[in-house]
Structure 1
Amino acid sequence: MKTIKGRFPFTPFSQKQLQVLSWWANDELKDYEAIICDGSVRAGKTVVMSLSYVLWSMTRFDGQQFGMAGKTIGSFRRNVLRPLRSMLESEGYLIRDSRSDNMLTISKNGHTNYYFIFGGKDEASQDLVQGITLAGFFFDEVALMPQSFVNQATARCSVAGAKMWFNCNPEGPYHWFKLEWIDRLENKRALRLHFMMADNPSLNQETIDRYNRMFSGVFYKRFILGMWVLADGVVYDNFNRDEMVVTSPENVVWEKQWISIDYGTQNPTVFKLWSLYKGVWYNNDEYYYSGRETGKQKTDEQYIDDLEDFFYNNHLERSLVKLIVDPSAASFKKSLRNRGFKVVNANNNVIDGIRFMMTQMNAGKMKWTDKSEHTIKEFNSYVWDAKAADRGEDAVVKEHDHCMDADRYFAMRVLYKRKGTSVKLYKEGI
């Protein structure tokens, strides 16, 4: 157990943020049992929701238990708890954090309540909240959680006067939370407040403009406009051949080089060479072989022979260039290491990888060349899965995706940096 210390630099709240802070004290809204705040990224939802949740619970209850959840406990502590505890300390609250129990004890003015932290990342998460009695629950990024976890958690809120708090960025229009809560506000006795970046007074126009440039297509509609819309059509609808396919710089010394690999047996195997010069990564070469199209499948050793030639033709030193390979290609990775190649695992989170790669394309960090022949074709044929959208899921059609996968592996391994070392363009924290 330890006391958390820190100060929070408060800025004036917007009108909508003030509504979140005070709705539970408004006689006209007292019969609402839940509040939902959804909308664009960086709209100031999380900070004000978490603060209001604790103010409400500490004002109305003493000696009760409450729940708080993010997709993972780690993301909740990083994105919610750090600013929350600083704000509360600034207002004279005593906070003790028992990390072993993932429980906060918060005290002020003779009132003490207990706040359990949960992660709602998968179907098994519902087991974590079974059996506990709660007076309220706060869900950060609820759209990233399975319905089973949220249903189990809300069922635990059986203390008289309990209320539930939901915060999220939009997903598809058939997402379970949209159908079960946002489309049934009256039935759920829920108050909904829709946020935009303009509702966050801590953002200046330069920051808002930067976020507007980051996102494209469905992600722009969801994360900037705050709309619950389908992911349909071409995935990388921001691909502009005139701007993103360029002539590679000549007679330069490349600062760094990587090779990303998507490995297939009957499906194509792809090698992509990425070279850095003055802040831009150029796809300077591409290897593509399909056993299905040629009627002759290659062995792992034959592919590695081709990779040897790929290194030789591009004047690459094996000790300086690492390979990024899908974690599932276990036997292929073992064979690569046996031949002396340096191999690292790819991050294979498809949707987050697509979103992040689009931000890097928009920022001009990734460029393709005339060597990227199959990649350019795939940009025009890599599409969202309409049947998955009907189920409320975001998924891609697993066709014409091998160069796309290799490029995504590269972006997520080399360009993506975790929060604390660089800007993190990812769902956690936006």
Structure 2
Amino acid sequence: MQLSSKQKEYWNHANCRWNIKSGATRSGKTYLDYYIIPRRIRAVRGKEGLVVILGNTKGTLQRNIIEPLQKIFTPALVSDIRSDNTAMLFGEKCYCLGADRENQVDRIRGASIKYCYGDEVVTWHEGVFHMLKSRLDKPYSCFDGTCNPESPNHWFYKFLQSDADIYLQNYILDDNPFLSREFVENLKKEYRGTVLYDRYILGKWALAEGLIYKEFADNPKKFMIAKEDLPKQFDYIGIGHDFGGNKSNHAFVATGISFDNHVYKLRARSIQATGMSFHALEKELIDFVEGIIGDYGYPSGVYCDSAEQTMINSYRQHTTYPIYNSIKRPINDRIRCTLLLMGGERYHIVEGECDDLVRGLTTAVWDSQVLEDKRLDNGSSDIDILDADEYSFEYYIYRLVGNYDA
């Protein structure tokens, strides 16, 4: 295997109780672990304690860890994660568990752990990590983990600054010599002007503050496209729909995705929610969808805020449109997707058709009153239109910008 100088340093010197690689995306952090994991497991073979792999969810573990290990070492040495959340890795039974919720790891609570690998540690529930600290209780117990930086207020950053027995490496994107220069420059361009550049390019634990879509707010015209310049055909058309409350608006946004994965905001509309009946809102939906059908074709789906099941069921009874619940991916994943699309010049807005959405994107800010990254929600219509926009394409986040591999 070929290793960078940073990876060789970790291989030779990461011998603490906690061994952590933090830093930029695609900087080579996780690749090295495909060889660290079998080395650690073989070192504790036959000793008392469990082998555990923790990640955001069982699905991300299968995708990020198990499948790459299988490609290198074959399924004979690395099995899929089974229904009981275990896999056989290099002759050892290994528990593979999601760590996004505290109760996910109840089956290993109270057990001794001889080796644990941690994927995407900053996405874990803090209680899972505190449980893990008390379970690595053997003299030979150790942990390897990776993470991309988040806010310096994050609980894991505070742990990294503690006096625990930690071997910590910090990576920047340029630490990976095996990436093409073109890819590196494109990635830098996509993250430029956002807090994500500091985190995922420079590997810094940086605060999210001020305008979220600063580059857009500085020059909205850069993202505008004339209707006559749109692609002749779209691979996908989705309509996002958010329901407003007493002081906010109902919102609709139609998005077209081209075959080359550019995103086009075809039309957006925000309507005062106060005093509007279900019947009146249903008529507004029908008018909006029929307008999109007339101009662009039949939508793949209308994706509605899943909190309003009564209204969604009414839509299904009184229309023939494919009506779906939004899946409500984490808001920050939706924001990150939008930022990457903007940075990569793949986010376009039809001029004159999306004024409410333009206002929402221009005014969106991070909440300065909380410790974690959070979009400020002041109950205004600007938030409703942003949610509707994100619902319209969130099913295709991974297709559009990948899985943010570490």
By the TM > 0.5 criterion, same fold?
yes
**In 1: Cα distance, 2:340 partner to 2:142 partner:** 37
Q: Which moved more, 1:227-236 or 1:332-341?
A: 332-341
Counterpart residue number, 1:303: 281
Alignment correspondent of 2:55: 70
Matching residue within 216, 220, 229 for 1:241 = 220
TM-fit CA distance, 1:68: 1.3
- 2:25 aligned to which of 41, 44, 51: 41
Shift of 1:21: 1.9
Equivalent pair of 1:13/1:201 in contact (CA under 8 Å): no
Q: What is the correspondence of 1:25-424 to structure 2 with a 5 Å cutoff? A: 32-59=16-43, 61-64=45-48, 65-88=50-73, 94-95=77-78, 99-107=82-90, 113-180=92-159, 182-184=160-162, 187-216=163-192, 217-239=194-216, 240-249=219-228, 253-255=232-234, 257-266=237-246, 267-275=248-256, 279=260, 280-291=262-273, 296-313=274-291, 316=294, 320-321=298-299, 322-340=301-319, 341-349=321-329, 350-368=331-349, 369-388=351-370, 391=371, 393-399=372-378, 400-413=382-395, 415-417=396-398, 422=399, 424=401
Name the CA shift for 1:299/1:318 in 2 (closer, same or farther; >3 Å). Answer: farther
Aligned residue identity for 1:58: R
Specify whether residues 124 and 288 from structure 1 end up closer, same or farther in structure 2 by C-alpha distance, changes over 3 A only: same
1:225 maps to a residue whose letter is L
Q: Does the aligned pair in 2 maintain the 1:61–1:113 contact within 8 Å? A: yes
Residue-by-residue CA offset, 1:384-416 (whole Å, 9 max, x unaligned):
11122xx3x111111331111111112313x42
How many percent of aligned residue pairs carry the same amino acid?
Answer: 21
Q: For the residues of structure 2 that align with 1:412 and 1:253, how far apart are their CA atoms?
A: 23
Retained in 2: the 8 A contact 1:172–1:229? yes
3-state secondary structure, aligned to 2:336: helix
1:301 and 1:335 in contact (8 A); partners too = no
What is the root-mean-square deviation in Å for CA atoms of aligned residues? 2.7
SS of the aligned residue for 1:161 comes to coil
Which 5+ residue runs of structure 2 have no aligned equivalent? none
Aligned residue for 1:403, secondary structure, equals helix
Paired amino acid for 1:407 = D
Distance 1:231 1:82, change over 3 A: same
The gaps in structure 1 that reach 5 residues or longer are 1-9, 25-29
Counterpart CA distance in 1 for 2:231 and 2:42 is: 63
Deviates more, 1:157-166 or 1:168-177: 157-166
Structure 1 residues 360 and 136, CA gap change in structure 2 (3 angstroms): same
1:175: Cα distance to partner?
0.1
Cα–Cα, structure 1 residues 71 and 320, in superposed 2: closer, same or farther, change >3 Å?
A: same
Aligned partners of 2:354, 2:326: CA distance in 1, in Å? Answer: 20
**Preserved CA contact (<8 Å) 1:137 1:154:** no
Q: Distance in 2 between matches of 1:35 and 1:157?
A: 13
Task: Name the CA distance, whole Å, in 1 between partners of 2:212 and 2:117.
Answer: 33
1:423, distance to aligned residue in structure 2 (A):
6.2
Report the secondary structure of 1:82's partner residue. Answer: helix
Partner SS for 1:249: helix
Counterpart-to-counterpart distance in 2, 1:61 and 1:144: 29
Name the structure 2 match of 1:5: none
Deviation at 1:193, TM superposition (A): 0.7
Structure label with greater radius of gyration: 1
Find the aligned partners of 2:93 and 2:229 in 1 and give their Cα distance.
Answer: 63
Is the contact made by 2:62 and 2:80 (CA closer than 8 Å) also made in structure 1? no
- The higher-RCO structure (CA 8 Å, 6+ apart) is 2
Structure-2 separation of matches of 1:249 and 1:297: 37
Q: Distance in 2 between matches of 1:16 and 1:252?
A: 45
Give distance in 2, aligned partners of 1:193 and 1:423: 30
Deviates more, 1:377-386 or 1:246-255: 246-255
Q: Is the 8 A contact 1:22 1:52 kept in 2?
A: no
Q: Deviations over 1:42-78 (max 9, x none)?
A: 1111121242133134135434432211111221121
Range with bigger deviation, 371-380 or 318-327: 318-327
How many residue pairs get matched?
Answer: 392
Q: Distance in 2 between matches of 1:74 and 1:276?
A: 26
1:40 CA displacement = 0.2
TM-score calculated relative to the size of structure 1: 0.83
Contact 2:239 2:391 in 1 (8 A): no
